[in-house]
Amino acid sequence: MIRLGMMARETATTTIDSVLAEARALQLDAVDLHLSGMNRDLGYLRHVRTTCLRSGLAIGYTGGGSFVGPAEERAKRMAQGRADIDATAFLGAQVIRLFARYKWPETVEAQEALWGPMIESFQEIADYAAEQGVQVALQNHNNGSFAMNAKQVLRILDEVGRDNFSFLLDTGQWEGAIGSHPRGEWDENVDLYRDYIEPTAPHATYVRAKIYKIDAGREEWLDYPRILQILRGVDFNGTIGLVFELGERNGCSEEECRRLAVAHLRGVIADAYK
């Protein structure tokens, strides 16, 4: 049974508690927690966990950081990663999302100089997570990162080689895709579905469903009926977490956009899995 959730992130205008309340009102199944900026006090984490339980919301993924970059910053990255995994274990989340986000170098020599240490970092953090019973998942990200296309994602998954290291598929953040940067533009030589989603979907244990233009009741930038057919074809049976990157392109309130997106995805999921 496919479950549907939404992301909660602490910002200057939004609290995690307010998102949890909205997720419950929308009758969602799960909530995803972005750890950056989140209070790590155990009392607060316990409050979030309890609120989710009483609201009937599973905690899907927690959003962690990146594991590629300058050697002199590795210790800091790993320390933050361990802290994120500790929080994930305490919250009882299904999985922690990890990035390979760092500017892609222009030369192969420079790329490979960062690639090997990145793989070692992923292996080390996956081993640490395994000791606590935590699953970890690489998320693809947009232009310039070390996981911006299917070839990179599949290579990382193969080389890390850990049972608890899988893939979190972001539907919009792919190299040259419309949801990448600059947003709203795309490479006409790129087929998002054929080139990226189809090759990586068999490895996905979680999906981030981006919403960009939904005011007409249907996501206009991404073809979710096609995406769900791809997921159905690989027997995906996990959680789909909605992520809203609405900007000013929608002619209704953000709250209405979220309501429309939930209805749209519920319908698409029902059609694909009937």
Cα separation, 8 vs 274, whole angstroms? 29
This prediction's pTM: 0.96
pLDDT score at 144: 79
Largest CA distance in the chain: 52
Read off the DSSP letter of residue 254. H
Please report, for the chain, the start and end positions of each structural domain, with discontinuous segments joined by +: 3-272
Contact 61, 241 (CB under 8 A): yes
How far does CA 235 lie from the centroid of its chain? Answer: 19
Amino acid identity, position 41: D
Listed as ranges, residues in the chain with pLDDT below 50 are none
Q: What is the DSSP string of 33-54?
A: EE-TT----HHHHHHHHHHHHH
Q: What is the pLDDT of residues 84-140, one digit of tens each?
A: 999 999 999 999 999 999 999 999 999 999 999 999 999 999 999 999 999 999 999
**Mapping DSSP to helix (H, G, I), strand (E, B) and coil, where does residue 82 land?**
helix
Neighbouring C-beta atoms of residue 197, cutoff 10 Å: 25
CA 181, 184, 189, 190 dihedral sign is positive
Q: What is the DSSP string of 58-116?
A: EEEEEEEEE--S-GGGHHHHHHHHHHHHHHHHHHT-SEEEEE--SPPPSSHHHHHHHHH
- Which pair of tokens denotes residue 94? 């299904």
What Å distances lie between residue 198 and 146, 149, 222, 242, CA to CA? 19, 12, 14, 20
Residues in the chain: 274
**Mapping DSSP to helix (H, G, I), strand (E, B) and coil, where does residue 99 land?**
strand
- Which pair of tokens denotes residue 41? 């006090």
CATH of 3-272, one of 3.40.50.1000, 3.20.20.150, 3.65.10.10, 2.40.50.140: 3.20.20.150
